[in-house]
Structure 1
Amino acid sequence: MARQLEEQIVGRFPVGRRLRVLDVGMGRGARALRLVRAGHRVTGVEQDPASIAAAREALAGEPEGIRERMRIVQGDGRDTGVHFLPGSFDVVLCHGVLMHAEEPDALLAGLARMLAHGGMLSLLVRNGDAPAMRPGLSGDWAGALANFGTVSHGLTRLTATLAGIGAPLHTWYGVRVFTDTVPDGAVLPDDMDTLLAVEERAGRTDPYRGVAALLHLCGVRG
């Protein structure tokens, strides 16, 4: 995800430009801190108090020049219009949030309004086109059968949604193509660099990316 996001930022914006970034659902702030360290100004939105506390603790250990470029707001992303003016950000991130939203289309429309002209909306969602792949590859046949058609956020629907909110799909990737069945807490392999290279290649290559566990979609505000 970090490599994919960096690729899109480098390819879309002038080198050295300090971007205004909104990270909705920032979690413990690792992604936001990475961007702040790269020179950008980041506003993180998160509703979980424990995650906010962890993000603030991590930020406190950074130099003053980095701390002053990051702002943390408590919220769930639906009230961006209250906190920010339309067109306030060059990049809006919404990773792992959409699948939990009661009204995902309304949330997306609100986030798109936060983008400046030419700004980029980066989404990470479950792949609604392949929910049966994980249990099927694990030999859980009943689970695979039960998962057909259970997730609504497929590529076709999201492409239409992004077009409808004025941020048409620019590019997309698959995330966790081969590694999604690896158990939590598994020991990292010695050839981790090779594993990442395989996942990165598969995430941008058909037909592999189409059956990834997650989709990373980047729309651009016209």
Structure 2
Amino acid sequence: MVWDVLRAVLAERSSATGRDRLDIVDAGGGTGGFAVPLAELGHAVTVVDPSPDSLAALERRAAEAGVGVRALQGDAADLGDLLPAGSADLVLCHSVLEYVEDPAGALAAMGGLLRAGGVISVLAANPVAAALHRSVAGRFDEAREVLGDPEGRWGDRDPTPRRFTREALSGLLAGAGFTPGDAHGVRIFADLVPSRLLDGEPGAARALVALEQAAAAHPVLRDIATQLHVLGHR
């Protein structure tokens, strides 16, 4: 689903700028799960990540794919020091806001990298899904804890520091100077379906993907997705 949205963004930005090769920054892009395929499409991609091990894996992955990806070590807060202002057409902020010390500051730093008309792609964990998943696992007290916790956590052992509702993500984007776009749900059903159902039925995985795509923008179902995807426009 995220790739469907990103392809549309890339097509729109290429049309608006007259450039087939766009400048993309992947903040916290890790080992290059998005960066390398974007480079394979012909775009100039820079990954900024605090982990040297992840960046080393990124460089190996890019070399195996025969593409070049620029790798810079740093945190989201360092973006303004690492890269020039107004140098990007698209910034990816996927699974980053949950972990940075200052989500609003991180978004502001990313916004500073974008040219006029640029877009930020934000993907973040959803507390409603966390409550649903804890209850399905029989952790009813933890599910209730998620619903009452301002950070959307189920306890001290929760490995995710914070989660965001759709309203919270849109509010953060607006506060950082973006115009929030439509939200989409990612992994609405996939994390609830037993793997044996996918392994045992021919075509089940393909049907599940089609179901996820059909439900991604559903006004109710998107809000129970494991992750929420929202675009912000400059």
Question: Which residue is equivalent to 2:212?
Answer: 199
Q: Which amino acid aligns with 1:127?
A: N
- CA-to-aligned-CA distance 1:94-153 (integer Å, 9 cap, x gap): 101110111111111111111110000001111144431212233432221121143252
Q: Does 1:179 align with 2:179?
A: no
Question: Which residue is equivalent to 1:81?
Answer: 80
| Alpha-carbon distance in 1 for matches of 2:214, 2:148 | 27
Identify unmatched segments of 5+ residues in structure 1: none
Question: Which residue is equivalent to 1:144?
Answer: 143
Question: Which residue is equivalent to 2:181?
Answer: 170
| Alpha-carbon distance in 2 for matches of 1:186, 1:74 | 40
Q: Do the aligned partners of residues 158 and 97 (structure 1) sit closer, same or farther apart at CA in structure 2, a change above 3 Å counting?
A: same
Q: Is the 8 A contact 2:104 2:175 kept in 1?
A: no
- CA-to-aligned-CA distance 1:75-109 (integer Å, 9 cap, x gap): 12210111112111000001011101111111111
Question: Which residue is equivalent to 2:231?
Answer: 218
Question: Which residue is equivalent to 1:153?
Answer: 164
Q: Secondary structure at the match of 1:72?
A: strand
Q: Is the 8 A contact 2:188 2:216 kept in 1?
A: yes
TM-score using structure 2 length:
0.84
| Alpha-carbon distance in 2 for matches of 1:169, 1:6 | 18
Q: Do the aligned partners of residues 103 and 136 (structure 1) sit closer, same or farther apart at CA in structure 2, a change above 3 Å counting?
A: same
- CA-to-aligned-CA distance 1:21-80 (integer Å, 9 cap, x gap): 0001111112101100011100011111221111111112233xx22xx20101122101
Aligned 1:48-63 pairs, distance under 5 A: 48-63=51-66
Q: Is the 8 A contact 1:138 1:181 kept in 2?
A: no
Q: State the shift of 1:11 in Å.
A: 3.9
Question: Which residue is equivalent to 2:29?
Answer: 26
Q: State the shift of 1:188 in Å.
A: 5.1
Q: Does 1:5 align with 2:6?
A: yes
Q: Does 1:121 align with 2:120?
A: yes
Identify unmatched segments of 5+ residues in structure 2: 153-162
Question: Which residue is equivalent to 1:103?
Answer: 102
Q: Do the aligned partners of residues 10 and 145 (structure 1) sit closer, same or farther apart at CA in structure 2, a change above 3 Å counting?
A: same
Q: Is the 8 A contact 1:97 1:125 kept in 2?
A: yes
| Alpha-carbon distance in 2 for matches of 1:105, 1:197 | 34
- CA-to-aligned-CA distance 1:187-206 (integer Å, 9 cap, x gap): 95442211111111111112
| Alpha-carbon distance in 2 for matches of 1:93, 1:130 | 22
Question: Which residue is equivalent to 1:90?
Answer: 89
Q: State the shift of 1:4 in Å.
A: 2.6
Q: State the shift of 1:157 in Å.
A: 2.3
- More divergent stretch after superposition (14-23 vs 163-172): 14-23
| Alpha-carbon distance in 2 for matches of 1:4, 1:90 | 15
| Alpha-carbon distance in 2 for matches of 1:76, 1:149 | 30
Question: Which residue is equivalent to 1:112?
Answer: 111
- CA-to-aligned-CA distance 1:170-212 (integer Å, 9 cap, x gap): 22211111122357x8795442211111111111112100111
- More divergent stretch after superposition (23-32 vs 123-132): 123-132
Q: Is the 8 A contact 1:23 1:32 kept in 2?
A: yes
Q: Is the 8 A contact 2:186 2:229 kept in 1?
A: yes
| Alpha-carbon distance in 2 for matches of 1:61, 1:31 | 15
Q: Does 1:17 align with 2:20?
A: yes
| Alpha-carbon distance in 1 for matches of 2:88, 2:210 | 31
Q: Is the 8 A contact 1:171 1:217 kept in 2?
A: yes
